[in-house]
Structure formats: C-alpha cells, structure tokens
C-alpha cells in the first residue's frame, strides 16, 4: 500500500516534448482520475507510472522510494488495459492466476487470491470458462481480477470501459466503485474520456492539457470553481456556455456587458484598471432557466430543440461566435424553432474569465 509522488516529471520523444514538468502527490488510498482531450499526455503519464515508458527527467517515488529505474515487475503496480489482454486459450481461473504463477507463489496462495478476487467481482461461477464464452463486461472484470490477485500497491486503469456499450459501462463502473470501497488502502489511478466516470469515481480529478496540469481538485470543486476557461469548458456535459463580454464597472461586484447589450452583475471584484477590458462570461446549461419577465440575463432565437425526456436541450443562436448557447431545462419543455426566449440565472452560478482565460475569483 503506498502513495505516489511525481516531481517535475517530463517526457520527450526526441525533439517532441509530450509532458512538461508534472508535479503531483497522490495519497495512499486515493482514487485519482486523469482527464483531458486526446493527445494531452494522460495515457503517456499512466504508462510512465507503470514503467512501460521511460522518464526523460524528473523523479517518481512510490512509498517514498525513487522508482525511475525500477522495472515494471518490481514496482508493485498492476495495470488494467482497455483491450482486456486476456489469454484466449486459458480459463478465467488461469488468466487470473498467471501472474502469481510467474512469481512462483504457492498453489494454495494462488487459489486463495483467485477465489477471493472472483468473489469480489462476482466471477466465481465463470472460473472454468474461456474468455470467448464471456461478455465484454465479464472479460473486463477478469482483467481487473487478474490485477487484484497481484495484491499491488497501485492500480492503474487505462480507459477500461471504453470498449463496452452504455449499459455494460454503467454496470462495470459500479463494480469498480465497489472494488474501491472494498480496498480502501489501495491507491487507484484511472484514465478516462468519460465525464460521468470521472465525476462519480474520483476522489480528485487531474485535468491535463497539452502535457501540463491545468487543475487538480475534487469533482465538485472543478465543476463549481474552475481555475480557467479550459477546465470550465472541459468539466461538465454539455460544456459551460461562454459569452463574449466587456467589463463596465468595478467594486464589490463587477458589471459586465454581454453581447447583445445586457449588463449583469457577477459576484467577483476586479481592479479599476480592468474597466473596459474584454472578458468571457460563463454559465452552465443546467443553471439557465426560461423567464417571461423583464429582468433577464439574455435573450436569443431557438435554433434546435432536443427533447430527451428527462431534460430538454435548447440551442440558442446569436450570443457567441464559436457555437450556440445551450440551455438544459428539466423535463419536457415545448419550444418552437425560431422562437425568441429569455433566460436568467442566479448570481452564484455565474463565472467571469479575463482575456487570458483565467478565472476572476469570487
């Protein structure tokens, strides 16, 4: 059981720099999720922790010991891959036992660990089956079981659910959450593109962009208090709406003028030198409500209506150059394409970013 420390870790392939000085401390027993767009370096970082990629510079410590030159088999790490990586000619039992047999564990200890892992993952009845006789979700659980049997210090998950359909993804995510609860002292690091996986599984989320850490924090901290525009738009689905704005006033609250002429107060303070500067106003789709009153945040023309049953998504044109503004209205909301609607939101849900994309703090 161990924590993990990364100190100014960098990775380059020749002249191509992939990771630019990663500093991160992961406590024993934490469930950490790496998220970020394709190519941001999250899988490379995971493979470096596993020892499958060399560290160009910097230090990596597991349980206080530097492991830069330690081979993967000696790091006390188990990795669950996206592709399952099961031996097709071996039974579930033999797949789960394989690593321990290579390590020359006793038959009694192998049997104990395999059956204990199978019980945790509800695989006992499948131990004598071959992988081809299992569903995708069951195969992924076998891959997780094989990792459990190694009794690792750190679990690494590289997008383990991306090959599963929606229903299996939900079921297997629940199994991983149960596994985390049953092994509270084991450190787990998980790479995913999936917002729901990150928000529901993580103790802390690490948001990566272009080989750098943008922000580290608890899921709700990143959702409610993003450090910058990148995090604000990356965390949450649909993404936060961003509207061009100009700072008009200063003081305890800042007045900003949105495109279209509406002026709104946001709960941040700025220096007087900021007056007249360009900014970006942010509001999440689920924080917008439709109003018929004269006091409103903005109005716009409905371009698309997506009725999903539990929510209705309204796409509003005319406020942003990049993409329509999205309003996420609970339940069924009937709106005609081309109609003009007014929207409002509470001040505590509003965000303001400066010209460099950094958040003005409340």
Burial of 305 (0-12, 13-18, 19+ CB in 10 A): middle
Tokens of 203: 């103790």
Query: What are the boundaries of each domain within the chain?
Result: 4-234, 241-353
Phi, psi torsion values for 129, nearest 5 degrees: -90, 155
pLDDT tens digit sequence for 194-211: 888 999 999 999 999 999
Identify the weakest region by mean pLDDT among 48-62, 63-77, 260-274. Answer: 260-274
3-state secondary structure 335-349: CCCCCEEEEECCHHH
pLDDT tens digit sequence for 134-156: 988 888 889 888 888 887 888 89
Q: What is the pLDDT of residue 1?
A: 43
Identify the weakest region by mean pLDDT among 63-67, 318-322, 331-335, 353-357. Answer: 318-322
pLDDT greater at residue 185 or residue 90: 90
Question: What DSSP string runs through 140-198?
Answer: HHHHHHHHHHT--SEEEEESTTTTS-HHHHHHHHHHHHHHHHH-TTSEEEEE-S-HHHH
Instruction: Check whether 54 has a pLDDT greater than 90.
Output: yes
pLDDT tens digit sequence for 3-50: 899 999 999 999 999 999 999 999 999 999 999 998 899 999 999 999
Q: Is the peptide bond before 270 cis (omega within 30 degrees of 0)?
A: no
**131: part of which helix (H) or strand (E)?**
none
Q: What is the pLDDT of residue 312?
A: 96
- Using alpha carbons, select from 138, 142, 133, 137 the residue that is nearest to residue 96: 142
Q: What is the pLDDT of residue 239?
A: 92
pLDDT greater at residue 214 or residue 161: 214
**Which CATH architecture group holds 4-234?**
3-Layer(aba) Sandwich (3.40)
Distance CA 112, CA 135 (A): 25
Q: What is the pLDDT of residue 4?
A: 93
Q: What is the mean pLDDT of the chain?
A: 89
CATH T-level assignment (fold) for domain 241-353 = OB fold (Dihydrolipoamide Acetyltransferase, E2P) (2.40.50)
Helix ranges restricted to H, 21-165: 42-50, 92-102, 107-120, 136-149
The answer to whether 19 and 45 are in contact (CB under 8 A) is: yes
pLDDT greater at residue 171 or residue 338: 338
């Amino acid at each position: 059981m161990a924590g993990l420390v990364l100190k100014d870790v960098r990775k380059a392939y020749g002249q191509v720099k992939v990771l630019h000085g990663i500093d991160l401390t992961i406590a024993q027993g934490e469930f950490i999720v790496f998220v970020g767009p394709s190519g941001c370096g999250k899988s490379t970082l995971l493979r470096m922790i596993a020892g499958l990629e060399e560290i160009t510079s910097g230090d990596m410590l597991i349980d206080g010991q530097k492991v830069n030159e330690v081979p993967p088999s000696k790091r006390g790490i188990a990795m669950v891959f996206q592709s399952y990586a099961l031996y097709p000619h071996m039974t579930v039992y033999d797949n789960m036992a394989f690593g321990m047999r290579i390590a020359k564990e006793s038959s009694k200890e192998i049997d104990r660990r395999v059956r204990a892992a199978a019980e945790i993952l509800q695989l006992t009845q499948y131990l004598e089956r071959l992988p081809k006789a299992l569903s995708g979700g069951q195969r992924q659980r076998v891959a997780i079981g094989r990792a459990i049997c190694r009794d690792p210090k750190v679990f690494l998950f590289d997008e383990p659910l991306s090959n599963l359909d929606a229903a299996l993804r939900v079921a297997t995510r629940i199994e991983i959450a149960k596994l985390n609860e049953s092994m509270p002292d084991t450190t787990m690091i998980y790479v995913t593109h999936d917002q729901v996986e990150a928000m529901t599984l993580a103790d802390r989320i690490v948001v990566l962009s272009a080989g750098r850490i943008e922000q580290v924090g608890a899921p709700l901290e990143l959702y409610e208090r993003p450090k910058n525009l990148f995090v604000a738009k990356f965390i949450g689905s649909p993404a936060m709406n961003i509207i061009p704005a100009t700072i008009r006033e200063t003081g305890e609250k800042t007045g900003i003028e949105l495109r279209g002429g509406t002026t709104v107060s946001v709960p941040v303070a700025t220096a007087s030198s900021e007056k007249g500067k360009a900014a970006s106003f942010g509001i999440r789709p689920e924080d917008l409500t439709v109003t018929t009153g004269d006091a409103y945040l903005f109005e716009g023309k409905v371009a698309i209506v997506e009725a999903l049953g539990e929510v209705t998504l309204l796409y509003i044109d005319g406020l942003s150059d990049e993409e329509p503004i999205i309003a996420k209205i609970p339940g069924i909301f009937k709106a005609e394409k081309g109609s003009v609607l007014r929207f409002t939101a509470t001040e505590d849900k509003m965000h303001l970013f400066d010209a460099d994309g950094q958040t003005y703090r409340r």
